[in-house]
Each structure stands twice: as C-alpha cells, then as structure tokens.
Amino acid sequence: MKQYQSAIGGMHCAACSTRIEKVVGRLEGVSRCAVNLATNQARIDYDPDLVSVAKIEETISSLGFVAEGETGDNGLDQEKGVEEQLAEIKSRLVPTFIFAVLIMTISMGPMLGLSLPGFLSAETSPLGHTLVQFFLVLPVLYLGKNFYLSGIPALLRGIPNMDSLIAIGTGAAVLYSVWNLVEIMLGIDSVARAHDLYFESAAMLIALISLGKYLEMRSKVKTGEAIKTLMKLTPEKATVVGDNDEHREVDVDSLQVGDLIFIRPGERIPVDGVVVSGNSSVDESMLTGESLPVSRGRGDNLYGGTLNTTGTITFRADKVGSDTVLARIVRLVQDAQGSKAPIARLADRISLYFVPVVISFALLAGVSWYFFWGADFSFSLRIFIAVLVIACPCAMGLATPTSIMVGTGRGAQLGVLIKTGEVLERAQMVNTIVFDKTGTLTVGKPQVTDVVSCSNFDENRILALAAGAELSSEHPLATAIIAAGKERGCTPVKMEDFKALPGSGLRGRFVVDGKELTLLLGNRSLMEKENVQGITPELMKGCQTLSEQGKTVLYLAVDCKLAGIMAIADPLKKEAAQIVTRLKGLGLRVVMLTGDNEKTAQAVAVAAGISSVVAGVLPEGKADEIKKLQSEGNVVAMVGDGINDAPALALADVGIAMGSGIDVAMESADIVLMGGHLSGVTTAIGLSRATMKNIHQNLFWAFAYNVIGIPIAAGALVAFGGPALNPMLGGLAMAMSSVSVVTNALRLRLYEPDKYK
C-alpha cells in the first residue's frame, strides 16, 4: 500500500469533502480516503497495482474538484497560498460591499426616511429605479462569480454543495427581479413591480456570505498556527567549520551528516547532532514543553529548532533534513491534524445528503405557502431563498477537524504529540493508567543514595575505593558508583588484578603506603563466602531497612574486614507522587507494572502513592497484563519508555511513550511525551477531554443552528403570527455559524493543563 497526499481545490463545505471520500473510497485498490475540510487535504491509501494516482486525480476532477498534486512537508508554501487567497477575497470584499450598500440605499432608503432624487424613486421613475439597481448588482454578481462557477456545475452533476444553495437562492432573486424589470419596460404595473425587486437581497447575501467566508478562512488559518510556528523554528543559515577551522555560512538545506557546525549565543540549532566542544544552556521548550534551559556539553545531543542561550558550542550533525526530530514532529502533527475522529462520522453522513434535502425542503416550503396557504409569489420566493441561504453544512463539517487541529497543535506546544484524531477521542475514555516503573516513574538511572562507613575509612574514601574497582566493570551499578565519586570529587583508587565475580560482585588489589590490600565489593552472599568480619546484627537491621525501601545494598571489604556499605536505587521522579494524585483526582485508576521484585516494586509504589502493583513481569508478559485489565472492561492507557514496553504500548487502548525512547516511541505509541516528564500524562488526558468537550459543543451548535434556523426560514413563526425571516438575515446567520464553530475551536489554544479538571 502507498499513500497519496494532495491539497484539494474547490471544496466549499462538508458535502464536498464527504462526496470525495465516498466516490474515491469506492475505487478498486483504494483502502482509505480521508478528506479534511479544515486543511483542504486528502490522504488516500491505495494499491498501485490496482489503481494509479492519475486515476485518483481524474476521479476527483470528475467531481468538480482539483487535486493539486502530491504534497510533502511544504506547509509554509501552503500557508503562503492561503494568505494569497485571503488577500484575493479581501480585495473583492470591499467593492462587493460598496455596491451592495448602494443598492440597499436605493431600495430601502425611502423606508428609512431617506430622500432620493426623482430619477431613482420607485414612485416617480420606476424604470430608472430598477435599471440603476440592475447595473449595480452586475459587479456584485461578477465579484461573487465563484458561487455560480462552483455551485451550478455541482448541481448539474447531481452533487450540490453549499455554493449551490447560494447560487440557487441569489440566482432566483436576480432572475425574478430581471423579469420584473422586463415587465416595467413593457409598462405592466410599473410602480408595483419596482417595489417587488430582490436585487438588494441578492447583492447583500453575496456580500455577507463572502464576508463570512473571509472570516472563516482567516480563523481556519489560526487553527494551524502551532504547527506553522514549529516549522519556522529551523534557521535558514548555519555556520559550518571547515578543515582549517575556517567558518563559512551555508544554507541549512545543504547541510550533510558529519558536518561540524558552530553555534553562537542566541542562535537556533539547525539540525540534530552531538556536541564535540563547548558548553552552553539550550532552551528546548519547543521540543519538550519545559521552560527552563538545560546544560549541554561534549557528548550531549542537540536537536534542530532548539535555542542556544549562553555559550558557544560546536557540534557534529547526525540527522539532517526530514530525518531531524523537529521534522518528524511536524509530520506527526500534520498527520494528526489531517486525521478524523470517529465522532465526525455522523456529521459526514448527514452532510452528504444535507444539500439535496435542503433544496427539496426549500422548494416544498415555497410551493406550500403559494398553493396551500395562499401567500403571494413574492412572499413564497422569499421563503424559498431564506431556507436556501440559512442552511449551513459548513458548520457541521468544520465542527470536528478544527478542534482536532487546534488540540493537537496545542499538544505539540506543550511537548505532547498525539498521533491521530482517533487517539485524541479515545484518550478521554481512559479509566485506567498503567505505568512502567523503570525510566517512567523512576529516573531510569541508578544513583548512590546512601554511603555508610563501618571502619576508619570515611565516606569519600569508601567511594574512591568502590569507584576505582568499578572502573573496569560494565555493570549498570558501576556507572552510579563512578558518577557518585565524581560528584563528590573523589579520585578513584587504582586497582590491580581486577576480577568480576558473576552474581556476587568483584575482587581487586590496591596499594597504600607500599602495602598491598585486597578489596571485595558485592552482595551479602559474597561477604559470607569470603568470611568478611564486622557484619553485626545492628548493621544487618539497617541494611534490611534500606532493602525495604527498594534499594540495592553493596558491601565493601578491605582485607576481609567490612569497610562500609553503599545503597543504590533508581530514585522516583520528583513529580511522580504529585502526578499520581492528579490522575486519581481525574477519576482514574493507577496501576504500576514492573519486572522488579515485589519488595522493590512495593517500595516505589508506596512512595508514588500507587496501591495497585503487578511485579515480577517480564517484558513479553506486560502485554498479557494489559489484556487482562481490558478483559475486565477497562479502557487502558499504558505509559512506558517505548523500548521494552513496545508490545504493551501497542496493545493498550492508548499507548503513551516517554520521550527518552523517542525513536521507538514514535512508532509504537499513540502519544509521545517529548520531555519525558510525567506531567505530560495529565496534559494528554486533560487535553483529550477538553478537545472532545469542544467538539461536542461545536456539533451541538452546528446541528441546533440548522434544526432551529431552517424551520424559522420556512415560515414557522409566520404560522403562529410572527415575522418572516428576511433572507439577508438568514445569509448573515449562515455566514456567522461557521465562524462561530471555528472561533470556539480556537479557544483550545488557551488550554492550560493545571487549570483543567
């Protein structure tokens, strides 16, 4: 299977996007067709052996739309195109309103007490009054010609859209008025005919609906601001260090893997790489959502788009172009914004039949008033036009995708990547959160937490001996001991005859004042086997307490006499307990799943405030535990590091991966927390709930607007002695309905995790 992505030109409402999905989706070889009205993008999965791209584009063209060719990550080019389109609409909008207001003044001015010259008066010069309006409406019809060029062909193809409603409504008003003009020219009841014109209604409808389209498009542009901001983070130029240490400025697009790049304070990192010299603080908030800069020095990773704040650094590029983390984030968010949530299916189904039903209902309403309720033709025509112009399939079509665009964009700003609209919807249904322990609830790096002297050696001397012994070891605990020694400024004692004792520890020899001493470092079993002296009951009681806290106890002996003990643990992340409390406050059950032993697992769980613990589970068994929770009726989110947790992440209803395992996480997880910070879990759940609430609001008002507005336009109030709806008010309401939906979606840009419950 391949995927074809293309911008689609000519779409004006949900009926357009749904029709493309239905027709193209039926082509042999097409497995999925998703068209997003908010982004004007189509994503089509197809089998190239069964259907060609040319056939897909030909099918789209036969429906009256334009497939503008396969698109990549040229979001900035698309943005430029939208801005040009906005400028074009705005340039037409001003003269449209000028002519529409002039027609309104001539037509309605006398009703408001305005005195008109005799040649414009319907009473004294009905022909002049009518001809001036006719010639003034022609520029309006020309400026609004797109409604007719799109709507009428769509109607003739049997797939009418919103433009068809406008074209029929305004076209009927103009044709009826032109007929009256002909009768005036023939001298048939001229004054009465001059008072029965709809040129001003047609002109003002086109002006108001054009204004609505402009406001809607401008609002839609804002829905994609988050992703556009990310795309603009990569600088255009970079300083490359040559063989002779010369510096030259090049285009970022020309950078190659292996290039040495020099970064000054205040400059953005152009591509991903590893620092080879220099130290600085780097603002990675665009990537992780964390506001505080982080220190970066030799051997540390740098990511394109992040901001160097203080020192100068030189780094070697290892990922450029579309391979950088920023480029991958942009693609993920673009895919999410172009996806559909299941909740959109109802609106799509209704939109497909909405326009034909509205046209039929408008005809029925107009005919009924004329033939059955005795209304005159003018009133019946007004009812027909009002029904057509108040109906708005756009509001329904925009209700879901605009909220998803803004929600996923806001998530990216907060360091939370949500891959699809379906995931965004599913996350709000989660009632059980399962956490992996190591690297998720804990830091993921063992650290020395306690050093106890049991001899005349002080704590620093114990660490110096242990660090010296571990310099030759590859055991994970060795890294913690060496790091603790460096932190305290201890110089490792040189060891000789180093020997690893698998399952127990290690042995070595060192020389002090010309005297050779034997060192043992390991567990209690090693001490007992070597008959180490000095292990008292009181000491064992203290070691037991450390073990109950989930810490690994190491014993250090010199010449078979206990010198000291060290406790090593993978410490709980500082925010873990607070996040667990917040998740419980959101009504979620929290479970910890780990391969560690029961004692260590319980110690970590107690510290984190988690009561449900499943310990001693191998990586391949974690998926089985997820399946077990799901069989109990739970909607489960799994939070892990994206590496050994990949099977469980894939099986969970929502897989949430910490950014520490970013490469695998982007493949196996539904949501990626770029900063590796646990607060991202509450952000993801809260954002999902806020977005779905926003979608429900949009759908409610979109449906309510049409359910209430269409009967009123059909004269429901008149039947009970109320007023008829002026078509111009109907057009204004239709224009504003789409704007209100998009504006409501834009509120998600203000989402703050700490303020949402």
Q: How would you class 635 by CB atoms within 10 Å of its CB: exposed for 0-12, middle for 13-18, buried for 19 or more?
A: middle
- Residue pair 388/165 in contact (Cβ under 8 Å)? The answer is yes
Return the sign of the alpha-carbon dihedral for residues 675, 677, 683, 684.
positive
The total of other beta-carbon atoms located within 10 Å of residue 54's CB is: 9
Distances (CA, A) of 127 to 48, 135, 238: 64, 12, 71
- Residue pair 389/165 in contact (Cβ under 8 Å)? The answer is yes
The 3-state DSSP class for residue 207 equals helix
Specify the residue for token string 């240490």: 245
How far apart CA 104 and CA 132 sit, in angstroms, is 12
- Residue pair 749/413 in contact (Cβ under 8 Å)? The answer is no
Tell which phi-psi region holds residue 653, choosing left (phi > 0), alpha (psi between -120 and 50) or beta: alpha
- Residue pair 32/44 in contact (Cβ under 8 Å)? The answer is yes
How far apart CA 383 and CA 138 sit, in angstroms, is 24
Q: How would you class 26 by CB atoms within 10 Å of its CB: exposed for 0-12, middle for 13-18, buried for 19 or more?
A: exposed
Q: Which of 232, 300, 238 is nearest to 269 (CA)?
A: 238
Backbone angles phi, psi at 589, to 5 degrees: -85, 135
Q: Which of 438, 461, 463, 437 is nearest to 448 (CA)?
A: 463
According to DSSP, the β-strands at 447-453 and 561-569 are: antiparallel
Q: Which of 124, 129, 332 is nearest to 226 (CA)?
A: 332
Return the sign of the alpha-carbon dihedral for residues 345, 346, 347, 349.
positive
Q: Which residues are the active-site residues?
A: 436
Distances (CA, A) of 692 to 95, 384, 686, 698: 40, 36, 10, 10
How far apart CA 465 and CA 486 sit, in angstroms, is 12
- Amino acid type, 705: Y
How far apart CA 381 and CA 713 sit, in angstroms, is 12
How far apart CA 433 and CA 592 sit, in angstroms, is 9
- Helix 393-413 × helix 727-746 angle, to 10°: 20
Q: Which of 285, 612, 216 is nearest to 435 (CA)?
A: 612
Q: Which of 443, 487, 439, 441 is nearest to 463 (CA)?
A: 487
Distances (CA, A) of 81 to 74, 100, 232, 555: 11, 28, 16, 69
How far apart CA 464 and CA 725 sit, in angstroms, is 88
Q: Which of 481, 462, 421, 386 is nearest to 165 (CA)?
A: 386
* DSSP H or E run through 418: strand 416-418
